[in-house]
Amino acid sequence: MVTLIFDGLAYGMLLFVLSCGLAVTLGLMNFINLAHGAFAMAGGYATVILTNQMGMPFLWTLPLAFIVAAVAGFVLERTLYVRMYARSDLDQVLFTIGLVFMAVSGMDWLMGSQQQILHLPSFLLGRVEVLGVNIGIYRAFLIAVCGVLAIVLQLLITRTRFGSRLRAAVDDQRVAHGVGIPVKTVFAVTFAVGSGLAGLGGALGAEILGLTPNFPLEFLIYFLIVVSVGGTSSMLGPLYASILLGLADVLGKYYIPTLGSFMIYAVLVIVLVVRPQGLFARAA
Amino acid sequence: MTARPDPAASAATDTAAAETGRRVVRTMRRALRWSLPEILFWLVAFASIFLLPGQHLILTEIAILAVFALSIDLILGYAGIVSLGHAAMYGAGAYAAGLYAIHVTGEPLTGLVVGAAAGAVIAFATSFLLLRGGDLTRLMVTLGVAAVLFEIANKAYRITGGADGLQGIWMDPILGRFDFDLAGHTGYVYCLIVLFLLFLLARLVVNSPFGISLKAIRENPLRASAVGIPVNPRLVAIYTLAGAYAGVAGALFTHTQQFISLDALAFQKSADGLLVLIIGGTGYLYGGMIGALAYKVIQDVIANITPQYWLFWIGLLMVVFVLWGRDKPQRIFATLAARLRHRREGRE
Amino acid sequence: MTVVLETRNLCRNFNALKATQDVSFQLHEGARHALIGPNGAGKTTFINLLTGVLAPTSGEVLLMGQPITRLSRHGRVRRGLARTFQINQLFPELSVVESLGLVISERRGNGADWWRYAGRLPGLGEEVAQIACDFGLDEVLDQRVADLPYGKQRLLEIALAIALKPRVLLLDEPAAGVPEADRHEVLARLAVLPGDVSILLIEHDMSLVFTFASRISVLVEGALYAEGTAEEIAADERVKAVYLGEGDDE
């Protein structure tokens, strides 16, 4: 049981890193980026190629996965996304689904449709017994890395100059612009960092989530649940939502194998009925 | 109702009011009149039965896709509900019609009703999750509902055939007389007639007080409720109706293909429907039909050039189309219709 | 005189902020009553509580003596409570005819009719025409609302509420943003509104308040501060102080 909770926690932390970028872009630019998973996939494939084919140490590939996805995000934001901010939700949805389709089939063309097997270094494999609890080393690694990331992000947003600019821009774009905050740059940097985090999440999750070209579509619903349950007003909401979702998914699949994959939807329905504005959203 | 002290002025305003009244009635009835492009559209559609006998299989697909897109137009174009999971209702209709044909009877017309009912039930049951929250919640809920149904159909393979698809569907002749043939002639006429009837109903509904209240909700839900429109019941009603339409589309697919795979519930199906409608334009009912035709033609052209990676091209099409401005084809059509109307009214 | 609209100890808090504090208010039949107050006094919150856009933290709202505190927005409209908005809330893509027609068919209980064309509802066209003429909208009947000049939009804003034939009408700054040239037209329409409609005017503009209203309530920091006839309020030193203290805004 404790092992399961530990696994669920690891899974949830991973989901947080994957989707926190989406929460920020949604909160900041009010932009529905359904292609968020494509950046995660890019990071995942970057790591797989670098480790498996080029023999680079796994840990070294993680920052590269971040950079690949962040650069892709930055370029796309400046060239394409920037044209879509003022458009209707429907336009944004169509546009980003189009990007997803291109990414999915482009990756299929590049790498083939089979699932990619990531060769983790041996020191991250295996399990250890800690205080009578059987713990997977890689799961522990995930919790540590993602936990640190979550703390760094929260500090970045609450304590730094960039963070306060970001929060100002989220609250009111026009006012932020008026007091001299370079809103466009804030947008671009935030988008790039959000995409980069997704890429890092994709790299970290390549082993346990299963990496195929279909990744952006398969996990789209998870991302959407995280941001709509967690809200976009702080980093903590999505964090709690991710952990809740991770636990529900892992425990559900273990205890009720036939219905396990429906567990997340059950959570979703309950949240929608009880608190339609999101479980952790700031009460307006 | 207004206080008017001067009787002479009052009489003058009364005649003016009567004249205005006639003008209002004329304006209101304009929506009822069949414009020339509309008449031509349906003449061409029905002429294709005789003029393009070799294309009936693909035309059948187009007609079914058009019903599906028409269903999306009812919720998106009129009520403003963005959905990423309309395949849920389509697939429910398809499977319901298939199971009905296998276990009850192969009679197609009652099968259509069963398909419609299945779509409507799914839509009605899930509509309540759509009422609260904004577009993002709706995207998530619709996506989630379709994903759940997909998983159910996948897991319940004893009933649905799972990933192998539902097989062994045999259809009786329509009205006991018209057998489904391999060249798809009967199937096409059948689908086209159903499409036309559903279109007629939709045309009535969207121009009814109910339909106009939907547009009001789409335009401004706050004001809609402030003029006494019960917003939520209206949204539930149109979502259920659209569900029935999608269910019929699914049933038509089952009847003409006599095989159902999980594709009927896949995300791809929902996205296809949305794209088809967007290509043709939302909110004037013809978008789904024009879009279905254009979509299939584009698919055909691309398949001839490069048979693989269709998804990539469809994605590119969506991106370019949205960047270019998706309302352009519709505007061209509207300008054309307006010009024709002007000319006709000029003659009168 | 009959009380048509009443609130009893109405309160609404936004976290720590008390936007409406213990307001007990009465609107009499046929009244021309104005609700004034400095910026941020909670006038709009009060309207939102009356119409059901917001739920009160405590207290009651009564329409014709019936409690409507828990009634839906459209339910209140059906019982005869209509409002206009400070910032236009129209249906931009609909035409003037469609906008008025939909309101009237809704009032008549035909709003859910899906089986007949709106254009076939008997007498609808005539009633649309009547209101359009009353509000000077007869020249722009088939125009898209989004294409109308602002003055006409403002008139439509009021016409939509009048088309509901309300017993009680809440006017939220009806002349707000209307250019000087079109202002008299809006004011003229307000002056000839049917006498049996009880009107609560929420207004910032004192000249409009004193020409229109015979009775005035003053709202300050969410609470009723003073109430009386127009003359009494005009002479009230405390009210003057509130307005002078605020400085002359707008």
- For residue A20, give both structure tokens: 């926190």
* Cα separation, B29 vs B52, whole angstroms: 36
Contact B323/A at CB under 8 A:
yes
Lowest-pLDDT choice from A115-124, A175-184, B141-150, C105-114: A175-184
Q: How far is A248 from chain B (nearest CA, A)?
A: 16
Contact criterion met (CB below 8 Å) for B1 and C134: yes
Contact criterion met (CB below 8 Å) for B27 and C127: no
Residues composing chain C: 250
A159-186 pLDDT tens trace: 888 888 877 777 777 777 777 778 788 8
3-state secondary structure of C197: coil
Predicted pLDDT of residue C248 = 46
Please enumerate residues of B whose Cβ is less than 8 A from a Cβ of C.
1-3, 13, 16-18, 20-25, 27-32, 204-205, 207-213, 215-216, 219-220, 222-231, 233-234, 237
* Cα separation, B213 vs B227, whole angstroms: 10
Statement: residue B4 has pLDDT above 60? no
- For residue B309, give both structure tokens: 């990676």
Predicted pLDDT of residue B330 = 64
Q: Which domains does chain B have, with CATH numbers?
A: 35-347 (1.10.3470)
Q: B-chain residues within 8 Å CB-CB of A270? A: none
What is the DSSP secondary structure assignment for residue A234, as one 8-state letter? S
- For residue B331, give both structure tokens: 């505007």
Q: In chain A, whose CA is at the least distance from the CA of B317?
A: A98
Q: Rounded mean pLDDT of chain B?
A: 88
Contact A171/B at CB under 8 A:
no
Residue located via tokens 């590939």: A61
Predicted pLDDT of residue C250 = 38
Element (H, E) at B302: helix B287-305
Q: Percentage of residues in chain A with pLDDT exceeding 90?
A: 24
- For residue B57, give both structure tokens: 């299989």
* Cα separation, B296 vs B52, whole angstroms: 15
Q: A-chain residues within 8 Å CB-CB of B326? A: 91, 94
Statement: residue A251 has pLDDT above 90? no
Predicted confidence band of residue B117 (pLDDT cuts 50, 70, 90): very high
Statement: residue C49 has pLDDT above 70? yes
State the number of CA atoms in the 13 A half-sphere of B91 facing the CB.
28
Q: What is the DSSP string of B82-94?
A: --S-THHHHHHHH
Q: How far is A200 from chain B (nearest CA, A)?
A: 24
Pairwise CB contact (< 8 Å): B136 & A102: no
Statement: residue B40 has pLDDT above 60? yes
Predicted pLDDT of residue A282 = 45
Contact B221/A at CB under 8 A:
no
* Cα separation, C210 vs C233, whole angstroms: 10
Predicted pLDDT of residue B242 = 97
Q: A-chain residues within 8 Å CB-CB of B137? A: 228, 272, 276
Nearest to B123 by CA among B229, B250, B208, B211: B250
Q: Which chains touch C (3 or more CB pairs under 8 A)?
A: B
What is the DSSP secondary structure assignment for residue B167, as one 8-state letter? -
Q: Percentage of residues in chain A with pLDDT exceeding 70?
A: 96
CB neighbours (10 Å) of residue B135? Answer: 16
Pairwise CB contact (< 8 Å): A98 & B129: no
Q: Which domains does chain C have, with CATH numbers?
A: 3-91+166-246 (3.40.50.300)
Pairwise CB contact (< 8 Å): B3 & C195: yes
- Greater confidence, B247 or B155? B247
> Which residues are CB-neighbours of B182 under 8 A, at least 6 positions away?
none
Pairwise CB contact (< 8 Å): B13 & C107: no
3-state secondary structure of C169: strand
Lowest-pLDDT choice from A157-161, B5-9, C73-77, C229-233: B5-9
* Cα separation, B53 vs B35, whole angstroms: 28
Backbone dihedral angles phi then psi of residue C220, each to the nearest 5 degrees? -130, 125
Residue B262 CB-density burial (10 A; 0-12 exposed, 13-18 middle, 19+ buried): buried
3-state secondary structure of C185: helix
- Greater confidence, A234 or A215? A215
Residues composing chain B: 348
- For residue C88, give both structure tokens: 């236009």
> Which residues are CB-neighbours of B48 under 8 A, at least 6 positions away?
B55, B59
Pairwise CB contact (< 8 Å): A94 & B326: yes
- Of the candidates B136, B267, B316, the beta carbon closest to that of A32 is on B136
Mean pLDDT of the region C188-212: 88
Statement: residue A190 has pLDDT above 50? yes
Distances (CA, A) of A169 to A194, A196, B91, C211: 16, 20, 43, 44
**Angle at CA B308, nearest 5°, toward B257 and A102?**
105
A34-89 pLDDT tens trace: 999 999 999 999 999 998 888 888 888 999 999 999 999 999 999 998 888 888 88
